[in-house]
Amino acid sequence: MDKEEKKSFLSRAKETLTKARAILEEENLDENMSFETFLKKIDKDLTEAQYISYIETTERGLALFLKRRVKERNINNFHPEMLAAWNANMDIQIALDPFAIIAYIVSYVNKIETGTTAFLKQALSDNVEKETKEKLHALKNAYAENREVGFSEAVYRAISSLHLKQSNVGTVYVSTGFPQNRSIMHRRVKDENEDLDDDLENSDDDEEQQSSSKPGLVSVEGYSGKFQPSVSIHDRYAKRPEYIETMCLAQFATLYTYTASLPKKKTPVIINGCSKEKSSWQTIYNSTTFLPYYLDLEDLGYMKLKSGPQVLRFHVSSKKEGHEEQYSDMLLFSSWRNEETELNGDNPKKCMKSHRRRRKEIERNMKALFPGKKMMEKLESEDIQDLRPIHIIDFMDSQGQQENEEDMEEGAIDDPDYESMGYIGNINPEAPPGKESVKFKKIHVPGDDDLRRFTRSLVPEQMKPMRKVIARCKAIVRNRGIIQTKQEPIHLIIHGGAGKVESFCKYDTYFLTSVFSRCW
C-alpha cells in the first residue's frame, strides 16, 4: 500500500483498538461474551479478518499476542509445566530481536537517576572558579555520594564477601599491522657485576659501557642500563611444529603461553616438537587435529597449552590505512611461516592477491573465534532504536500519557487516607472526636456481597488456598464447644504478582481476614 493508504489504515486500526480497550474495561462486562459478540460491540460491520489485521499491526519490530477469551484478558502469559514447578506468579514475554533482549537484561541492572542532576549542578556551581580537573573531581564525588542504586547493587555493597570483579578469564594482546608499525617490548639486561636486587635507577657509567658491548642492546630514555627486545608472539608462532601447521596466529596466542622449561615431574615426551599427550577437546579451528600440551620451539623455549582460551585483544584492522588492513587480517587469521615473503607487506598488489587467496580461511577462523560477529556488526551498523518493537497499541493511551506528565509536574504529595501511617510520636489515647486514637487504621472487612463477588472472580490457582481456609474455619466452628480439641492454625504463603493480576491477588488478604473474623 502507498503512503496515504497506510496512514488511513493506521488511523482505522487505532480507532478500532481504542474502542476494544474501552469495552474490555467496562465494569459490567459479560466475561462469557463470545468473540463474535465482542466484534459487534466494537463495530457491527467489523469482520474477524479486519480485527486480526489491526491487532497484528506494528510500527516496527515483532510482537506476540496470544489468543484468549474475554474472561482470560487479565491472565499473564504462562507455561503450565513451568507454572506447576515455579508455584508463583509468571509473566513470560518472548524476545524476537536483539534490542528486546538487550533492553530486558539492562532494565534489571540500571536505575533511573532522576534526582542526581540537581546535586551535579550544585557541585558544578560551587566549583565554578576552579580548574577543570578539580571540577571533574567534585562532580565525581557528588555523583558517587548521591546516586540511586538498585536492590541488587545495594546487596552487593552491603555484603563484603561478594567478589564479582575477579574474573577467571584472561586476555592477551597481539600487535597487528606491518612489522615497522608494531610496538616492541624491551627487557632490562642485568650485568655480571650488578646486584639482582638493585633498582633500575642504580647503575653507573662503567656498567653501561659493559652492557653496550653486547649485540642488540639499546638504551631507553629515563632509565639507566641497557635493554634488549623481548621475543614476540609472532616469532614464536613462526617456529611452531609442523603438526599444527594450519593453526592461525590468533588461536596460537589465545591457547598457548610461554614456559622456560618442561615440568620436572612427569616430564612429557617430545616428538617432532610436540608432546606425545594431546588435549581431549581442544582442536585447531575447523579441524579434527587435537592440540598437544607442550611445544618445543628449539632456541625460543617451550609453549604450554592453557586449560581454556583467553580473550584476544587487537587493533581493529578496518581502521588501518591502505593494504595494511588486509595484511593484518592475514597476519592474525591465516597460517604462515615467513610473513615477509608470504604476506608481501611491502608490495600492495601481491598483498591484495594473497589476501584474496586466503579469504575463505580468514573467514572460517574469524567465525570460529568470534561466533557472534555478524550480530555485533548488525548492532553497530544499524540504529538500535529502529530495532525496538513498537506495537500500535503503545501509541493509543494519549490520555494516560497526559495524566502521567501532569503527575510528574505536580510531584509527590501526601495521601490524606494514609496520613496516620506517617505519625511517629506517642499515640494519643484522648483523641478529639472524629479522630482515631491509634496509629494504624482498622482492617476493613468486606460484606457478604463483596465476598461472594470476589470469590466468583477467583481463578483455580486462587481457589486452592481459599478452600483450605474455609475447611479449617468450618472445623473451628464445629469444635468450638469442645475444649479438649484444639485446631492447629493454618499456615499459607500467598504469592502476589505484578501487573493486573495483582489487583485480583490482593483480594486474597480480604478473603482470609473476613473468613477468620466471622469464625472467631
Cα-Cα-Cα-Cα torsion 87, 88, 89, 95, nearest 10 degrees, comes to -70
Closest CA to 328 of 181, 183, 176, 175: 176
Residues in CB range of 192: below 8 A, 6 or more apart: 210
Alpha helices, DSSP H, located in 339-459: 339-342, 348-369, 373-381, 398-410, 448-456
Q: What is the pLDDT of residues 432-488, one digit of tens each?
A: 555 555 555 566 777 888 888 888 888 888 888 888 888 888 888 887 777 667 777
What whole-number percentage of the chain has pLDDT above 90?
24
- On whether the CB atoms of residues 232 and 275 are closer than 8 A, the answer is no
Verify that 453 and 506 share a domain, yes or no: yes
Task: Return the higher-pLDDT residue of 7 and 96.
Answer: 7
* Residue 491 belongs to a domain: yes
pLDDT at 198: 43
Residues 6+ apart with CB under 8 A from 386: 60
Using a pLDDT cut of 70, give the percent of the chain over it.
Answer: 77
Q: How far apart are alpha carbons 287 and 278 in whole angstroms?
A: 14
Q: For the chain, how far is it from start to end, CA to CA, in angstroms?
A: 69
- Residue in the block written with cell 608494531: 182
> How many whole angstroms from its chain centre is CA 348?
43
Predicted pLDDT at 415 = 67
The identity of residue 430, as a single letter, is: E
In a domain? residue 513? yes
- Of 102, 127, 148, the residue at which a domain comes to its end is 148
User: Hey, what amino acid is at 457?
Assistant: S
Q: Chain-wide mean pLDDT for the chain?
A: 79
Would you call 396 helix, strand, or coil by DSSP?
A: coil
Residue after which a domain boundary falls, among 127, 148, 169: 148
Domain that holds residue 458: 448-519
**Within 110-256, where are the H helices?**
116-126, 132-146, 151-158, 205-211, 233-238, 249-255
Contacts 24+ apart (CB under 8 A), 468-474: 468/492, 469/511, 469/512, 469/515, 469/516, 470/515, 473/515, 473/516, 473/518, 473/519
Q: What confidence tens digit (pLDDT) does each residue in 365-394 have?
A: 999 999 888 777 777 776 666 666 666 666
DSSP assignment of 211-228 equals HTTSTT-B--TT--SEEE
Let me know if residue 102 belongs to a domain: no
Q: Vertex 434, ends 428 and 436: CA angle to 5°?
A: 35
What was the pLDDT predicted at 203? 37
Q: Which candidate, 310, 312, 272, places its Cα nearest to that of 292?
A: 272
- The verdict on residue 472 lying in a domain is yes
What pLDDT does 417 receive?
64
Which pLDDT does position 419 carry in this prediction?
Answer: 60
User: Strand ranges (DSSP E) for 155-206?
Assistant: 171-173, 186-189
**Cβ contacts of 123 within 8 Å, gap of 6 or more:** 138, 139, 141, 142
Residues 163-185 have a mean pLDDT of 84
Question: Would you state the pLDDT for residue 202?
Answer: 38
Gyration radius of the chain over CA positions:
37
Indicate whether 461 and 515 sit together in one domain. yes
CA distance 358 to 352: 10
As to burial, measured by CB atoms within 10 angstroms (0-12 exposed, 13-18 middle, 19+ buried), residue 27 is exposed
Q: What was the pLDDT predicted at 85?
A: 86
Same domain, residue pair 514 and 452 = yes
Same domain assignment for residues 139 and 200: no
- In a domain, residue 163? The reply is no
Q: Which three cell numbers stand for residue 14?
A: 487505532
Question: Do 139 and 190 have their domain in common?
Answer: no
Whether the CA torsion 154, 159, 161, 162 is positive or negative: it is: negative
| Among 111, 56, 60, 7, CA closest to 385 | 60
Q: How far is CA 31 from CA 140, 256, 464, 496, in A?
A: 56, 67, 22, 23
The CA distance from 14 to 386, in Å, is 21
Both 143 and 190 in one domain: the answer is no
Residue 478, domain member (yes or no)? yes
Which of 277, 307, 292, 280 has its CA nearest to residue 245? 292
Residue bearing cell 549542578? 121
Say how many domains are in the chain.
3
Domain-located, residue 329: no
Residue 27's pLDDT band (cuts 50, 70, 90): confident
Between the alpha carbon of residue 339 and those of residues 222, 236, 332, 336, 343, the distances in Å are: 34, 13, 11, 6, 5
Does 63 fall in a domain? no
pLDDT digits (tens, 9 = 90+) for 203-214: 333 333 333 345
